Amino acid sequence: MKKVLLFNPKSAEKKYRIPNSIMNIAASVDGQFDWVIVDGNRETDPYQAIRKYLLSGEFGYIGFTLMPGPQLKQAAPIAKKIKEEFPELFMVWGGYFPSNQYKVVMNSGYIDFVINGPGDHAFLQLITALENGTPYEFIKNLVYRSGDQIIKNVKEELIEQDTLPVLPYDKLNQFYSIDKYLGKTYLGNKTLAYHSSIGCPFTCSFCAVVPIYEAKWKAKSAATMYKDIRYIKDKWGADAIEFHDNNFFVSEKRAVEFSKMIRPDHMNWWGMARIDTMSKFKDESLELIRESGCKMIFFGAETGNDKILKQMDKGGTQSGEQIAAFAERLKKFDIIPEYSFVLGTPAPTEEEVMAQIDFDIAFIKRIKSINPKTEIIIYTYSPVPTEGSVLFEQVKAAGFSFPEKLEDWSSPAWEKFDLRKNPLTPWLTPEMIDKIRNFETVLNGYYPTVSDIRLNDLKRRLVKLVSGIRYKTNLYQYPYEIKLLHKLWSYRQPEIQGF
């Protein structure tokens, strides 16, 4: 039986975490196929590490996990070289990028299959069929080539997450010490990344989760996640948790049950949520969540503009006033709201796009005055292919299109696009992009993030002082002095470098 190599391309410069995506695939084949893992975050030359395994001649299958952006930049040239040198190897790509851009991936000519969405069943079914020479054409979530056509199979119902095997942490530890995956953050000295639910029940039209999960969500029970977390705590000393779920707080009941379980363990934790969902949580639930160690929660605030919120299809219930009221409400629970905003959505005229940006800059400043502890993350709107959504139709009408070649996706310009920092979107002028970025610099100067644990008090005070006049007088242009300080201290941006 041929072996399986699983590759996690480099995703972070420093704060790499347990590679949960590829670990889910490892768990699904564990005990059935022999597998090894290569983590691009832990190798100086991942291509050579992969090649060394493949030269043994024992491997028949190689799986890559991919987010767009820098992961893709490392993965694409490696995949091409591997396929040239080992053409008989079956190459399978999975994760958010190949799921949403499956045509580009399949047209590259060197990737044999894509798994669209969850691979927990599909990957094992595929390699078992290939191993036995039986048909694979009916496997759900599979994308394959038939002659010159690309066939995208139907989706599998989301799997009950408690039925999935526990991730093979002990085996991962044989390849790369788990200890080094448990990073020091503002939450704790050994922060564990845990993923407790898949998908999301909402349909925001700018979000890459929607085309894949189609408004569905399945979660592990509080008891299952607690058991997993305790295992890592007891064995490797994890003392804090980052929940990487798209939407951890969908169920108040589950959040409350988990909080009760984790409270005695004194672990700080963090997760992502929606403002309209959590606004409905009872005071006693929020109190318990905080008491159990939840210090900060990430919320997609997106914009204070109700018209755009509607265009973004935020479920219809989020409003600017609700965003502001919730920032105020969280003060009494001592939970830091981390609000992410998406600036630069399209509008019929240039003046309207600029007016939207100005509106949100003023709104962000209002939020900061209501609850100064609110952490603000600013993204520039980057389209995702949510075919049929009003927003995506508007985006296409404005002349935007995605690259058609895999190589173009990993070009520096598109890498920046993926990082949502410099979008190649026709409705945004360089002046608008500058305004967004310069405001962000001044804001980050005046309110340095608490998640940068290397910024000491003195540095914080200094950068705040330097940025204060600009912030108070709305003078955002050319903030070179703040940029210089950020550069000198390697100011970190959680949205790119890890939470």
Stretch 396-435 residues interacting with ligand B12 (CB under 6 A): 418-420
Of 18, 91, 139, 209, the residue at the interface with ligand SF4 (CB under 6 A) is 209
Q: How far is the CB of 302 from ligand SF4 (least distance, A)?
A: 8
Contacts with ligand B12 by CB under 6 A: the residue count is 45
Of 95, 118, 188, 300, the residue at the interface with ligand SF4 (CB under 6 A) is 300
Contacts with ligand SF4 by CB under 6 A: the residue count is 11
Of 3, 42, 195, 274, the residue at the interface with ligand B12 (CB under 6 A) is 195
- Say how far residue 289 (Cα) sits from the centre of its chain: 23
- What is the rounded distance in angstroms from the CA atom of residue 470 to the CA atom of residue 474? 6
293 binds ligand SF4 (CB under 6 A): no
499 binds ligand SF4 (CB under 6 A): no
- What is the rounded distance in angstroms from the CA atom of residue 102 to the CA atom of residue 113? 9
Residue 119 or 300 with smaller CB distance to ligand SF4: 300
Angle (deg, nearest 10), helices 20-29 and 122-132: 50
**CA distances (Å), 321 to each of 189, 305, 326, 350, 366, in order?**
37, 9, 8, 26, 11
Q: How far is the CB of 383 from ligand SF4 (least distance, A)?
A: 14
Residue 376 or 384 with smaller CB distance to ligand B12: 384
Stretch 219-278 residues interacting with ligand SF4 (CB under 6 A): 246-247, 274
Stretch 309-328 residues interacting with ligand B12 (CB under 6 A): none
Options 79-87, 200-208, 347-355, 392-400: segment touching ligand SF4 (CB under 6 A): 200-208
Select from ligand SF4, ligand B12, none the partner in contact with residue 7, using the beta carbon and a kind-dependent cut-off of 5 to 8 Å: none
The three-class DSSP label of residue 174 is helix
* Sequence-ordered strand ranges (E) for 14-136: 35-39, 59-65, 90-94, 113-115
Q: How far is the CB of 376 from ligand B12 (least distance, A)?
A: 15
In this structure, what token pair is assigned to residue 181?
């995956």
Least Cα distance to 53 among 5, 90, 111, 1 occurs for: 5
Give kind and range of the element (H or E) at residue 299. Answer: strand 294-302
Contact call for residues 77 and 116 (beta carbons, < 8 A): no
Residue 168 or 460 with smaller CB distance to ligand B12: 168
Least Cα distance to 209 among 218, 194, 219, 198 occurs for: 198
Options 13-21, 99-107, 198-206, 330-338: segment touching ligand SF4 (CB under 6 A): 198-206
Q: How far is the CB of 195 from ligand B12 (least distance, A)?
A: 4
Of 22, 27, 200, 229, the residue at the interface with ligand SF4 (CB under 6 A) is 200
* Residue 434: HSE in the Cβ half-sphere, 13 Å Cα cutoff: 9
Give residue 278's identity as a one-letter amino acid code: M
Options 51-59, 203-211, 231-239, 431-439: segment touching ligand SF4 (CB under 6 A): 203-211
- 320-327: list long-range contacts, CB under 8 Å, 24+ apart: 320/363, 322/275, 322/276, 322/279, 323/275, 323/367, 324/366, 324/367, 324/370, 325/279, 326/275, 326/278, 326/279, 326/299, 327/367, 327/370, 327/371, 327/374
Of 105, 106, 164, 207, the residue at the interface with ligand SF4 (CB under 6 A) is 207
195 binds ligand SF4 (CB under 6 A): no
Place of tokens 């004194």: 266
Select from ligand SF4, ligand B12, none the partner in contact with residue 418, using the beta carbon and a kind-dependent cut-off of 5 to 8 Å: ligand B12
Buried (b) or exposed (e) across 76-89, using 16+ Cβ within 10 A?
bebbbebbeebeeb
What is the end-to-end Cα distance of the chain in Å, rounded? 40
Q: How far is the CB of 20 from ligand B12 (least distance, A)?
A: 4
* Sequence-ordered strand ranges (E) for 101-237: 113-115, 142-146, 149-152, 191-194, 197-199, 217-219
**Residue numbers at the binding site for ligand SF4 (CB under 6 A):** 200, 202-204, 207, 209-210, 246-247, 274, 300
**Residue numbers at the binding site for ligand B12 (CB under 6 A):** 11-12, 15-17, 20-22, 24-25, 41, 63-65, 67-71, 92, 94-97, 100, 115, 118-120, 123, 195, 207-209, 244-246, 384, 418-420, 495-496, 498-499
